[in-house]
Amino acid sequence: MNSQTQFDKAYPLDPRSGQPVLKRITLYDSSYTTDNLGDQIIMNAVHDHLREIFPHGFFTGIPSHDYPGKHGIQKAAECDHAFVGGTNIIASHWLRYHQIKLSLSDVLRVKPLILMGVGWHKYQRDPDPVTNRIHRRLFDGEYLHSVRDRYTDEKLKRSGIGNVVYTGCPTMWRLTPEHMTTVPTTRADEVLFALTAYLRNPVADRAILDLLVRSYKTVHFWPQMFDDMEYLIEIGSDHLQSGAVRIVKPSLADVADLLRRDNLDYVGLRLHCGVLALQHKTRALIVTVDNRAVEISRDTGLPTVEREDLSSIESWIKGSEPIALSLPFEAIAAWKGQFDR
């Protein structure tokens, strides 16, 4: 009797059978088979929120950006819920390109996916008829889907998927007004900088780096992807040799340790490094290079600037307004709360 009482306290029980309710959760994980540490930032937030929703869930991760094997597909077929979280994974032409790496036969086998703060691959036309049919089979028809920007919300609804709610990115769900009041508005002594090597603009990016070297005592560079280090050497080897730029080890633990310092700003071309900075109460300005930061900024007020707008970057460095984010907290709560039933 004693052990039964302890067991009851530890696990929720099904009122009909009296057996523990232990959900099997499949998570399509974008941080597998990639060197992009930004995906680890996203998936850390996804894990954090899903563990809050399913404290007794058994989680199985399978790659979202590489084709799962036989065992992974079996897990994805047998689970209670399947989630894909936080990445720009939806595209308009499945037969030409799809980031969700499932074959057409696997689409028919796996548990339908529940979207969690996902976005669109890039600016595209609306999905073609074949892609619409695949999406309607692949995306769960019962549960609400969470998308990270209104562009994606409107695109899915136009294609006939109406059980969608705009929530913003899961990395931002804890950036409450109370949290944001703790973010400084004045210039720090040091700055964290990041580049995006796969979308290069050497002239503009060198100008930003020069400005940061002039404006801060130390510039810390974090290579979020392997090629970012090579790109820094290409545009700023002189600053490395002089010691004006210091390298942060390419791990989340090391960049998080740096962000715990009080006297640090972030100015960089990596969206999720900027959001990570805000999570750590660090003043942040994200330099836009693609649709993701542009759309999220338009919807939420996330501080962004175009990479050629050097005067605005310089003005922000000298001092900025308090960050007033506009996040749909009611929609976030509704999406998370739907699994209570």
- Beta-bridged to residue 120, according to DSSP, are 90
Distance CA 212, CA 206 (A): 10
Give DSSP secondary structure letters for 175-198: --HHHHTTS--B--SEEEE---TT
Q: What pLDDT, on the 0 to 100 scale, is given for residue 8? A: 52
The 10s digit of each residue's pLDDT in 148-189 is 999 999 999 999 999 999 999 999 999 999 999 999 999 999
Contacts of 2 (CB under 8 A, 6+ apart): none
Nearest CA to 233 out of 254, 205, 253 is that of 205
Report whether 80 contacts 112 (CB < 8 A).
no
The 10s digit of each residue's pLDDT in 237-267 is 999 999 999 999 999 999 999 999 989 999 9
Tokens describing residue 340: 């209570």
- Give me the CATH code for the 2-171+329-340 domain, please: 3.40.50
The 10s digit of each residue's pLDDT in 37-92 is 999 999 999 999 999 999 989 999 999 989 999 999 999 999 999 999 978 889 99
Tokens describing residue 90: 């939806």
Q: What amino acid is encoded at 327 in this protein?
A: L
Report whether 181 contacts 322 (CB < 8 A).
yes
Indicate if the pLDDT at residue 2 is higher than 50. Answer: no
- Beta-bridged to residue 218, according to DSSP, are 190
Looking up tokens 């059980």, which residue turns up?
163
Indicate if the pLDDT at residue 289 is higher than 70. Answer: yes
Alpha helix locations (H) across 216-251?
226-242
The superfamily in CATH containing domain 177-318 is Glycogen Phosphorylase B; (3.40.50.2000)
Ranges of CATH 3.40.50.2000 domains, the chain: 177-318
Report whether 119 contacts 152 (CB < 8 A).
yes
What global pTM score does this model have? 0.91
